[in-house]
Chains A and B, each alone.
Chain A
Amino acid sequence: MSVATPPKSCPRCNSIISEDSPGGLCPRCLMQFVAMSTGGADFPTGDRLPPELETLRAAFPHLEILELIGQGGMGVVYKARQTKLDRIVALKILPARLARETLFAERFEREGRMLARLNHPNIVGVYDFGQADGLYYLMMEYVDGVNLRQAFASAHFTPHQALSVIPKICEALQFAHDEGVLHRDIKPENILLDTKGRVKIADFGIAKLSGPDDKTGLTETGAAIGTPHYMAPEQVERPSDVDHRADIYSLGVVFYEMLTGELPLGRFAAPSERTATLDARIDQIVMRSLEKDRDRRQQSAKEVRTEVEYLSSHASDKRMQHNEAETKPSIMDSIESHPRYAYRSTLAIALVIASILLPVAFAMNRDVGMETIASYLAMISLWLGIPGTFLGFLHLHYLGLSGYRNGLMTSVLAFTFWPLAIAICTILWIAGSLLSPFQQRASTVVDLFELIVLPVISIAVFVFGVWSTKKWIEKTRPDPRFANKAIHPVVEVLHFVMKAFTVILWAMFGLFILYMTPGTTGIKSTLGYDGKPQNNLPELNLEIVKISSIENVLVIDVKDSSSSIQMETSDVDEGAQIAGMGGNSATQFRIIFEGPNLLPEAEVLASDSYQGKVFFPGEPTGPREFDLSRGKTVTLAFALPDAKSALACKLRVEREIQEGTPSTMTVLDAHQMHLFWAPCKLGMYNAYAERGR
């Protein structure tokens, strides 16, 4: 019987030798020494026994074999020192039975090369492999630490620790999978934790190498390899048809074990049912990875990693963050963990900013007044700002759900900004119109950009918005990140309202654009009053029937459609009477083409009232009086100096009254229309641009 010895520590492993130790010896060292054979006939388990130390020393003269550190079905592992490099390595000797298999050498060669390629901080590196004195060996990086199984046993493994280990395993797995290497035997014994807390996966692909002893020796023949409880169902049933998702299953088993301390056998409970302190959102990740059907698992290790990292960095449940200071997730965290929504929010914000900057830039370039800027803003903000706001609102809200707590407030701000801005612009616009009575509806700015580019962008944005929303909804169900977060009903209603609002707005503006494009679409535009005349003047309804272009000449057909009162260029009496001016006066129309950069000839050709060059085709000789009477169509043609000036030109109609002497003319009213939308046939621009050079 043993002699009772006072507590002392083992000189070899430094562990405390308790009183009940057999023979007063360190039980750990004793048992380990039993496992480490130095020769002699041993228990008849044949091949499974490690080779004799003498044999090893002979086979590896350049190595100093230090100790046996592990033993299992896949061979034995020794700690050894490479004397030349003075480097500690792990030497794995594969079971001798393998060497007897036919074709093993070839397979070993092939696999060994592949394993040596796996160079990753979370994978135990393979330095060398080969055969020495009939022993197949792998020389690997030595990891000073414990495996996960030992970690389970020695310390209480918290879910938080599990959450920090899993992503690293995933990283390594993803790397190997990308290289086309499957592990096939993920289990706690193969996951090592070194003293610095690094995680390393050992024995990559070894399972395949030292597969079961089937007749041909080739695992490709379809024998199941792996460790039963950690094997994916398909790995057992159809071993020949195994892909990287089998590793994901095994990882799921390890994950489950880490969280609950048990294996997921039979009809197993969700981890949070087993361990009360767990965040229920972990369940979805674990249960998904343990799906029998591999199509329903996470499709890549990276996916698992993202999910777990998301949870660990945004555990709303404080219990998840055991020892860490309680930190409120910042919006940057949210954005980093949620690139998809962050990207869309950014796009939305860009749209909103563009909707402010673009009109301002346009307006500045054209040297126009405040009221024009306001109208630009109103217009473009409707096109860009509304969908931008809409998207921004949605995605900021989703970001908010994902852990950024101020997300909702921010999205409300984003949501209210543009409706407010639009309202303000509309008020400015109306005020501007009221202040200058001649700026009527016809002054609404429509140009080429708005006509072509904006609809395209808007439609694209709309499609994108619908698509991303749809994607989001699809993603919502299996995505554990939003699992426990219900969307607030108010948000849902707003979502719908914003959508409907956007669609209606776009439809309205589409119609408006059509309406504002005379001639080409059959819908006519008028220059002048369309309803009740102001200032008791007779109704004026000059209709622009058609706008076309011949090279650099803009051709506009104008028709007088005034219904009630006859309009003549020299309709002296009636006009004057109606205008209440009485006496010997005559009303005249003047059609003025205004623009900032007209050609030099324009000045020569212009009369005192015509600022543009007005001529009729075939008679380009100068300004002419023309007869514009009711029902009659007059064709006006203007030569434009360049495309840019065309964009800023206005067609203006003034009604004048001649009082007393013919030299005194009083302007009764004026109507103007911007013409940039008119030369929408790009041919004109192009032709002119070429001529200009």
Chain B
Amino acid sequence: MTEPLARIGNSNRRFMTTQWTHVLSARGESAEAKESLKELCDRYYSPVLAFVNCYTHRDQNAQDWTQAFFAKLLEGRSLDTVLPSKGKFRSYLLGAVKHFLSDERSKHQAEKRGGAVEHCGVEDVDVFSIRVAKYNEKALDALFDRQWALSILQLSLQDLEKELGASQSTRFELLRPWLSGDSIELSHADIGVKLGVSAEAVKVTIHRWRKRFREIVKAHIASTLADIAEVDEELSYLIQVLASTSSATMYTTY
């Protein structure tokens, strides 16, 4: 899907400035920045959608809301408030979506009181259905972060699959579980038999893929950070997020 991303692991120097740094340094003004922002937004659509879903109590219009949010974000002006030092795209996006939703809510309330307030391009959305009676900000944040981590893994898996090409899709399907550690059920030899190659060859392939997958994940993480030195920190944070929340508990809470 993304050309630059595919090269990240191979050419370290070039990506010392991340996409997010691009956006920040240009304050979203330059064409390159706009492109980068659009790309980032595309990638992290699902955490935002999950957040909006929960925030609005699974409102049927959650998708529209999310679209409206991204539309507004890409218009650009909202970036003025972001400080370059602030770092993470994840934090920025979460802050922005919260801001957007509470804005919409107050507009909706103002309208209910009779004030005719312009709707900023979301007139088609049923604002009356937003109900934010009681929400636990911390849990919502955790949900967003979890979804974020999942998106990163999802994107990385897709990228890896794409890189390997259609010719390897069967192998990929078979070997994918090995990306999260050695399989318990199957040995290298078992796989080898299935694929018609030696166990040694399977080992080498897995090693190569793991390495590449690691690079891709880290590159994805890096692309959302202002300072790539924070990659490990962000990575361990995401591990914690995944370890401490499970989707089952998250959804039943709301």
Given the complex of chains A and B, what is the CA–CA distance between A20 and B12 in angstroms? Answer: 32
- Let me know if A1 and B181 touch, CB within 8 A: no
Q: Which residues of B contact A154 (CB under 8 A)?
A: 244-245
Contact of B247 among A20, A29, A43 (CB under 8 A): A20
Interface: A49 (CB within 8 A): yes
Report whether B240 and A40 are in contact in the complex, using a CB–CB cutoff of 8 Å. no
In chain A, positions 549-605 with a C-beta closer than 8 Å to chain B are none
CB distance from B166 to the nearest CB of A (A): 14
The reply to whether A33 and B179 form a contact with Cβ atoms under 8 Å apart is: yes
Residues from chain B with Cβ under 8 Å of A121 in the complex? none
Q: Which residues of A contact B176 (CB under 8 A)?
A: 23-25
A2-25 residues at the B interface, CB under 8 angstroms:
2-3, 11-12, 15-16, 18, 20-25
> Shortest CB–CB separation between residue A49 and chain B, in angstroms?
7
Q: Are A35 and B142 in contact (CB under 8 A)?
A: no
A531: B residues at CB distance < 8 A: none
Partner of A153, one of B219, B228, B240: B240
Contact of A37 among B157, B214, B247 (CB under 8 A): B214
The distance in angstroms between the C-alpha atoms of A558 and B182, with both chains bound, is 115
Q: A-B contact count, CB below 8 Å?
A: 124
A24, A25, A70, A153, most chain B CB atoms within 10 A: A153
Let me know if B150 and A27 touch, CB within 8 A. yes
Q: What residues of chain B lie closer than 8 Å to A35, measured between beta carbons?
A: 232, 235-236, 239
Q: A23-B176, A30-B180, A38-B207 are in contact. Are A153 and B236 (CB under 8 A)?
A: no
Q: Is B95 among interface residues, defined by CB-CB distance under 8 A?
A: no
A261, B218: Cα distance in complex, Å = 29
Task: Flag whether A507 is at the interface (Cβ < 8 A).
Answer: no
Is residue B246 within 8 Å, beta carbon to beta carbon, of the partner chain?
A: yes
What sequence of 0s and 1s flags, for each residue 492-527 of chain A, a beta carbon within 8 Å of any chain B beta carbon?
000000000000000000000000000000000000
Within the complex, what minimum Cβ distance (angstroms) separates B242 from chain A? 4
Does the CB pair A28–B236 fall under 8 Å? no
B150 and A22 form a contact (CB under 8 A): yes
Contact yes or no, A40 B247, CB < 8 A? no
Task: Answer whether residue B149 sits at the interface, using C-beta atoms and an 8 A cutoff.
Answer: yes
Q: Kindly supply a per-residue 1/0 record for chain A positions 163-201, scoring 1 wherever the CB is within 8 Å of any chain B CB and 0 otherwise.
A: 000000000000000000000000000000000000000
Contact between chains at A150 and B243 (CB < 8 Å): yes
Decide yes or no whether A320 CB sits under 8 A from chain B.
no
Interface members, chain B 201-226 (any A CB < 8 Å) = 207, 210-211, 213-215, 217-219, 222
CA distance A488 to B94 in the complex (A): 53
**What residues of chain A lie closer than 8 Å to B42, measured between beta carbons?**
none
Contact status of A29 and B181, CB under 8 A, knowing A34-B214, A35-B235: yes
Give A489 to B171 CA distance when docked, in angstroms: 86
In the bound complex, residues from chain B placing their C-beta under 8 Å from that of A3 are 173
**In the bound complex, do residue A11 and residue B248 qualify as a contact, i.e. CB atoms below 8 Å apart?**
no
Query: Do A42 and B218 touch across chains, with their CB atoms under 8 A apart?
Result: yes
**Contact: A30 with B207, CB < 8 Å?**
no
| Given known A31-B149, A153-B241, contact A12–B181 (CB-CB < 8 A) | yes
Chain A contacts of B236 at CB under 8 A? Answer: 35, 70-72
Asked if B153 CB lies within 8 Å of chain A CBs, one says yes
Contacting residues, chain B, for A30 (C-beta < 8 A): 153, 179-180
Is A149 an interface position by the 8 A CB rule? yes
Contacts of A150 in B (CB 8 A): 240, 243-244
Query: Nearest B residue to A21 by beta-carbon distance?
Result: B150
Query: What residue in chain B is nearest A189 (Cβ atoms)?
Result: B240
A130 located at the interface, meaning its Cβ lies under 8 Å from any Cβ of chain B in the complex: no
* B76: chain A residues within 8 A (beta carbon): none
- Flag if A43 contacts B248 (CB, 8 Å): no
| A692 CB within 8 Å of chain B | no
A202 CB, min distance to chain B CBs, angstroms:
15
Q: Does B229 belong to the interface (CB within 8 Å)?
A: yes
Give the most central of A34, A40, A71: most B CB within 10 Å.
A34
B154, CB-defined interface residue at 8 Å? yes
Which chain B residue shows the least CB distance to A149? B240
From the candidates B156, B231, B241, B243, name the one contacting A43 in the complex (CB within 8 A). B231
A12 touching B184, Cβ below 8 Å: yes
- Flag whether A248 is at the interface (Cβ < 8 A): no
With contact pairs A1-B158, A34-B217, A261-B138 given, residues A28 and B231 touching in the complex (Cβ less than 8 Å): no
A-side contacts of B218, CB under 8 Å: 34, 42-43
Q: How far is the CA of A15 from the CA of B250 in the complex (A)?
A: 13
B238 at the interface (CB under 8 A from A): yes
Expressed in whole angstroms, the Cα–Cα distance for A2 and B153 within the complex equals 11
Judging by beta carbons under 8 Å apart, are B214 and A20 in contact? no
Chain B residues with Cβ below 8 Å from A44 are 12, 16, 228
Q: Judge if B9 is at the interface, Cβ distance under 8 Å.
A: yes
Say whether, besides A34-B218, A150-B240, A25 and B228 are in contact (CB < 8 Å).
Answer: no
Chain A nearest CB from B152 CB (Å) reads: 8
Task: Tell me which of B184, B222, B246 has the highest count of chain A C-beta atoms within 10 A of its own C-beta.
Answer: B246
A247 to chain B, nearest CB (A): 23
Q: Are A29 and B180 in contact (CB under 8 A)?
A: yes
Q: How far is the CA of A41 from the CA of B218 in the complex (A)?
A: 12
Cα separation A559 to B214 with both chains bound (whole Å) = 116
Interface residue? B123 (CB, 8 A): no
Does A83 count as interface, using CB distance less than 8 angstroms? no
Digitize B35-75: 1 where CB-to-A-CB distance is under 8 Å, 0 elsewhere: 00000000000000000000000000000000000000000
User: Are A40 and B211 touching (Cβ within 8 A)?
Assistant: yes
The docked-state distance in angstroms from the alpha carbon of A26 to that of B246 is 10
Contacts A31-B153, A31-B235, A43-B9 given; does A16 touch B179 at CB 8 Å: no
Q: How far is the CA of A121 from the CA of B49 in the complex (A)?
A: 46
CB contacts under 8 Å to A, within B155-211, are: 156-158, 173, 176-177, 179-181, 184-185, 207, 210-211
Compute how far the CA of A390 lies from the CA of B245 in the bound complex, rounded to whole angstroms: 60
For this complex, 9 residue pairs linking A to B, each with C-beta atoms less than 8 Å apart, are A20-B150, A25-B157, A26-B180, A34-B214, A35-B239, A43-B219, A43-B228, A71-B235, A72-B232
| Minimum-distance CB pairs A-B, first 4 | A22-B154, A18-B247, A30-B180, A43-B218
Write the residues of chain B forming the contact surface with A, with a CB cutoff of 8 angstroms: 9, 12, 16, 138, 142, 149-150, 153-154, 156-158, 173, 176-177, 179-181, 184-185, 207, 210-211, 213-215, 217-219, 222, 228-229, 231-233, 235-236, 238-248
Which A residues contact B (CB, under 8 angstroms)?
Answer: 1-3, 11-12, 15-16, 18, 20-35, 37-45, 48-49, 70-73, 146, 149-150, 153-154, 261
4 further interface pairs, Cβ-Cβ under 8 Å (given A23-B153, A44-B16)? A21-B150, A22-B153, A32-B243, A73-B233
